Amino acid sequence: MITLILIASVGLTWLLKYGSILNRPRQALVSRSRFFHDLFSCSMCLGFWSGVILGAIFYEQLGLLVVTLPLASSGLSWFCDTVIEHVQVMTFLNDTAVHINQQTLDRMTSQHEGASHTREMSPPMPPQQPPMTKGCGSCGGKAPAPPKVEDVE
């Protein structure tokens, strides 16, 4: 019974926080009060009050567990919201990487199709060496010598 009530509490939290059916009332409350703005932007806070509401409804069935329901609801709502947010961020990053890779592939394909296939391909250029910095006046840009064995011990 408590598991079902906790799941209902998370559902109530998400409905209050994200439900499109409650956009107008939520925006009206958020725009009028800093308290409601903070409440609706925090899954832990909203989860606590969802637990209080469900605890009041199911008081007779829960008995003394009604005291811990808001705390458990708060923690579970925060945890579930964090997991969903993480999944959404990872999906966004994956979609962005796929989009960028597809653009690069399209660009390379269009360059390849526009090139003449009759001429020989030039050999690949060797990688460029980074320019040597002058360094300080005493070393002239050279790497320091490795320490001697007796210096290490």
How do the domains of the chain map onto residue ranges?
2-104
- The per-residue pLDDT for 135 is 47
Share of the chain above pLDDT 90, in %: 40
How confident is the model over 4-36, as pLDDT tens digits? 999 999 999 999 999 999 999 999 999 999 999
* DSSP output for 39-88: HHT-HHHHHHHHHHHHHHHTHHHHGGGGGTHHHHHHHHHHHHHHHHHHHH
- The per-residue pLDDT for 102 is 73
Quote the tokens at residue 6: 């906790």
How confident is the model over 84-118, as pLDDT tens digits? 989 988 888 887 877 777 777 777 777 666 555 54
Contacts of 83 (CB under 8 A, 6+ apart): none
39, 79, 83, 84, 151 from 90: Cα distances, Å: 26, 17, 11, 10, 49
Backbone angles phi, psi at 147, to 5 degrees: -65, 150
Smallest Cα–Cα separation from 77: which of 105, 110, 46? 46
Q: pTM surpassing 0.75?
A: no
Smallest Cα–Cα separation from 73: which of 7, 1, 140, 151? 7
